[in-house]
Amino acid sequence: MWNYSEKVREHFLNPRNVGVMEDADAIGEVGNIQCGDSLKLYLKVRDGRIADVTFQTYGCASAIASSSALTELVKGKTLEEALKITNEDIAEYLGGLPEEKMHCSVMGWEALEKAIAHYRGEVDALEKEQEGEIVCKCFGVTDKTIERVVRDNHLTTVEQVTNYSKAGGGCKKCHAEIQKIIDRVRGVAPTGKAAPEARARMTNIQLIRLIQDTIEREIRPALQADGGDIELVDVLGSRVLVALRGTCTGCPSAGLTLKGMVESKLREFVDETISVEEVRE
């Protein structure tokens, strides 16, 4: 039995904005009934804003609740604002989703992206960008989809990929290939450290993103648990400049935190040559 929040139950039992929109300006359709979940999202756009939105979905309670929540989140927003909404935002709006049901929020996110691409006449370009080789034959999930959910949700295990995309949830024959994709996206060698060849190919922007992702995933949660926080200020070659926040500011142990935790994690997941320096403002 899934542990659903009250808000998930409420949106499942009383979903908002359900139905076909006959005069829709854009439609985004994702999923496959044969695989268990599908969603069709309809948008009406006025002056660059989503004036109305409805949906039809076939799926479980999480799929229905996620679709309902998505319509409430995007209504009244500009297309640019709507595109900034992530599957994590949908889950957060619902008070959380079971880890095994996160793929339902991803489905809503993908439907919105496709609907906006339809409105802008960019569907062909979007589909070409998302083309890839099928990795999970049971659910028809491509390597491009797996790469995206790993990158955007900071996933690190095959089980998480299954929860977010269904890939690997059937016969499990694709688990080894999924792990290879995870390692490639994260730039991780079999030893668990960043692969030198992957680092060499990274642009400065990619390096900054990897540093920021590592801070978000490996460092910030630990600091926030004690009332502290950290902010990435700049990256100058192998020098990473950060500012400590909250209870970390002026803490006598700040130096140990920077070297013993922050620098250690960045060296493990990004580059062994990184040095971390605190910027005092």
Q: Are residues 58 and 114 in the same domain?
A: yes
Q: Are residues 116 and 146 in the same domain?
A: no
Determine whether 138 is an active site residue: no
Cβ(274)–Cβ(208) below 8 Å? no
What tokens does 9 get? 């139950």
Partners of 56 in the β-ladder: 40
Helices 175-186 and 143-153 cross at an angle (nearest 10°) of 50
Domain span at 146: 133-186
Burial of 36 (0-12, 13-18, 19+ CB in 10 A): middle
As a whole number of angstroms, the distance between CA 64 and CA 105 comes to 10
Is residue 252's pLDDT more than 90? Answer: no
Tell me, what's the pLDDT at 116? 95
Tell me, what's the pLDDT at 6? 93
Q: Are residues 52 and 155 in the same domain?
A: no
User: pLDDT, tens digit, for every residue of 199-243?
Assistant: 555 677 778 888 988 898 889 888 888 888 999 998 888 899 999
Helices 123-130 and 102-119 cross at an angle (nearest 10°) of 140
Q: Are residues 10 and 123 in the same domain?
A: yes
- Tell me which of 128, 147, 173 is where a domain ends: 128
Contacts of 135 (CB under 8 A, 6+ apart): 141, 142, 143, 146, 167, 174, 177, 178, 181
Residue 1 lies in a domain: no
Q: Are residues 170 and 226 in the same domain?
A: no
Q: Are residues 138 and 31 in the same domain?
A: no
> How large is the average pLDDT for residues 165-186?
90
| CATH code of the domain containing 138 | 1.10.10.1100
Q: Are residues 92 and 160 in the same domain?
A: no
Beta strands in the chain (DSSP E): 26-32, 37-46, 49-58, 134-136, 141-142, 228-236, 239-246, 275-278
What tokens does 165 get? 């995309």
Tell me, what's the pLDDT at 231? 92
Give the total number of structural domains in the chain: 3
Q: Are residues 13 and 114 in the same domain?
A: yes
Residue 191 lies in a domain: no
Residue 160 lies in a domain: yes
User: pLDDT, tens digit, for every residue of 68-122?
Assistant: 999 999 999 999 999 999 999 999 999 999 888 999 999 999 999 999 999 999 9
In terms of DSSP bridges, do strands 134-136 and 49-58 run parallel, antiparallel, or are they unpaired? unpaired
Tell me, what's the pLDDT at 23? 94
What tokens does 188 get? 């991780």
Closest residue by Cα to residue 86 from 66, 62, 105, 99 = 105
Q: What is the dihedral of CA 255, 257, 260, 266, to 10 degrees?
A: -110
Q: Are residues 122 and 10 in the same domain?
A: yes
As a whole number of angstroms, the distance between CA 47 and CA 51 comes to 9
Catalytic residue among 104, 136, 174, 248: 104
Residue 16 lies in a domain: yes
Q: Are residues 139 and 119 in the same domain?
A: no
Residue 193 lies in a domain: no
Tell me, what's the pLDDT at 131? 82
What residue type is assigned to position 121 of the chain?
Answer: G
Residue 150 lies in a domain: yes
User: pLDDT, tens digit, for every residue of 29-73?
Assistant: 998 655 567 899 999 999 999 999 999 998 889 999 999 999 999
Higher pLDDT, 254 or 25: 25
Residue % of the chain over a pLDDT of 90: 48
Residue 111 lies in a domain: yes
Q: Are residues 181 and 162 in the same domain?
A: yes
Q: Are residues 159 and 256 in the same domain?
A: no
Determine whether 35 is an active site residue: yes
As a whole number of angstroms, the distance between CA 53 and CA 24 comes to 8
| CATH code of the domain containing 70 | 3.90.1010.10
Residue 192 lies in a domain: no
